[in-house]
Amino acid sequence: MYKIMIIEDDLKLREQMSQILSSYGYQIVAVQDFHKVEERFQESKPDLIVLDINLPYYDGNYYCRIFRRHSKVPIVITSARNSELSQIMSIELGADDYIVKPFPVELFTTKINAMIRRTYGDYAQDTQSISNEVDYKLVAGGLRLDEKSFKIATNNTVIELSKNEFKLMKAFITKANEVLTREELLERLWDQSDFVDDNTLTVNITRLRGKLSELGYDDCIKTKRGVGYVFDI
C-alpha cells in the first residue's frame, strides 16, 4: 500500500482528498499541525506528497525545497495560482506536477495514479532492472544521457535531471530531428494526455531548456507551433 502525504490547510478539501485517495487503496497521512510539517514528513516517509502552496507559516514552495534536500519523493502541487510563472517556480524548486484549483476529481486521481504508476509500478521496476544490468548512455551531438543516474553531461559539465526532464530528454535524443507532438510527450511523462494541463508540459520543457543552456546547448529544443517540439542538435 502506497502512502500519500497531504499537506493542505483547507479542512474540507483535505478530507475530500483523503477520502478519494483512500478509496483507491492508498494510505493517507494528512498534516494537521502546520508547525510540524517537516517532522511529519521525516516520520511518515511518504511515497508521494500532495502539497498546497498557500499554507500557514511557510508556503508550499518552501517545503518543496526542504523535501528535495532529503528525498526524491514525487511532489504534486495543488494551488489556485494559475499563472505560468507560479508553475515554473514550483517545478524549478522540485515539484513533479502542478494541478490548478479547482480541479475535477478525475483529473486529480488520474494524475496521482499515473505518478505512482510511473514511479513505483511495473514500468518503473522494469526500467530499474534494465539499468542495473547495463549502464547505458544515449549520445547525441556531444551530449551523454545516463539512464542509471538521470544525469546529462558534456565533456566538461554534468547536470542532474529530474524524472520528467530525463524522460523528455530521452525522447528528444532517441528521436533527434523528428517532430514530437505534445500528445506524444505528455503520454511519455504521465501515460496519458487527456487529463494533463498543457501548461505542465510547457513548464517542464522550459526547465529542460534552461539546463541544456547551462551545458552550452541553446535553442536546440525548437517549438513547432500548433504541433509540438523538435530536438535539433
What does the pLDDT look like over 140-186, one tens digit per residue? 777 888 877 888 888 668 888 888 888 899 999 888 889 999 888 88
| 127 pLDDT higher than 50 | no
pLDDT in tens, 32-62: 999 999 999 999 999 999 999 999 999 999 9
**CA–CA dist 40, 35 (Å, integer):** 10
Cβ–Cβ under 8 Å, residues 168 and 185: yes
Phi-psi region of 103 (alpha: psi -120 to 50; beta: other; left: phi over 0): beta
The CA distances from residue 7 to 20, 100, 111, 182, in Å, are 15, 15, 17, 31
Longest dimension (CA), the chain: 53
Closest-CA residue to 183 (of 191, 193, 195, 197): 193
**Quick one: what percent of the chain has pLDDT higher than 70?**
88
pLDDT reported for residue 51: 96
Backbone angles phi, psi at 3, to 5 degrees: -105, 125
Q: Which residues, including other chains, have CB under 8 Å from residue 215's CB and lie 6 or more apart?
A: 143, 152, 153, 154, 157, 159
CA proximity to 172, closest of 193, 156, 192, 152: 152
**Reported pTM:** 0.60
Mean of pLDDT values over 111-128: 70
Q: What are phi and psi of 131, to 5 degrees?
A: -70, -25
Asked if the model's pLDDT at residue 23 lies above 70, the reply is yes
Q: What is the mean pLDDT of residues 193-203?
A: 67
With bands split at pLDDT 50, 70 and 90, how would you rate the model's confidence at 197? low
